[in-house]
Structure 1
Amino acid sequence: MLNRVILIGRLTKDPELRYTPSGVAVTQFTLAVDRPFTAQGGEREADFIPVVTWRQLAETCANYLRKGRLTAVEGRIQVRNYENNEGKRVYVTEVIADNVRFLESNRDNNGGNSGSGSSTREEPSYGGGGRGNNNFQRNNNNQDPFSDDGKPIDISDDDLPF
């Protein structure tokens, strides 16, 4: 079984950082993800997807993400439910992120949306928290593994998943 999701969108507002009673950081934010088609009126529609991050990743997101910033999120979908004050069962579907990539630098966002995508190579990837990993991970390997100018890639049969 597989429960994996990758989203790219813009934050609808600044992330909200909170702490559990035991002191664990948790951040919530909503990602606006454009749909791949336009509505009948020709305008683009978007889905607004709630995202939750935990521990060090939550603190990093709260410190560096801001409203409108282009962000990639990798994680899993979780559905939880609770009973509200009126006794009704409420269901919540959200993405529990274990990797967040900042696709724009702060200067790109302050000067307007660049749209060029050239700033994506400058930004780090932050992961952890989702699988009991409290370490702050920074991915500085920005090289495309498939940029060998069309040369064959040497992979042994033991490394193939099928």
Structure 2
Amino acid sequence: MPSGRTHEALNLAALGGVALAYMGAGGSPEDPRALAFALAYLAGTFFLTPDLDLAERGVRAVGRWGVLGVLWRPYGRLFRHRGLSHTWVLGPLTRLGYLAGLLYLLYLGAREVLAFLGVTWRLGPWVWSKEVVWAALLGYYLSQWLHLAADGIWPDHDLKRLKRPR
């Protein structure tokens, strides 16, 4: 299986190819969808890899979270390595759901602190537009799929296991 550095190099090379194709087709790097795609792709490559299920062993992605890496240990306990976390649809969704839960808890805490300080804060409407959200999801899932393909896990991986005689 490829090392973490190999996964990152493959993903960055693919992102470079996608960026060249996008720019060659007349795309603008200032488009919020392009930015959302690239940021989500990079987050999926460096921070939200399928190997977060190895949080107990200190994989590279956990180390990038710094002291917050400890927050991924429960995720590592929930999923065995190369189990559900290494599937093509549900695996990336489990990490997004787990991250959403963490961010929601952070949001609740920040909201209370800001309310105490009398500060109001809102995200701009472009952040939640459908096109930007879909571009971010595409970038994130593409980074995850490249990781899984490099591990030799293809979309039909689970189906093959189910068809095998017991």
Report the TM-score range of the alignment, normalised by the length of the smaller protein: under 0.3
Indicate the structure with greater strand content: 1
- Name the TM-score, length of structure 1 as normaliser: 0.25
Indicate the structure with greater helix content: 2
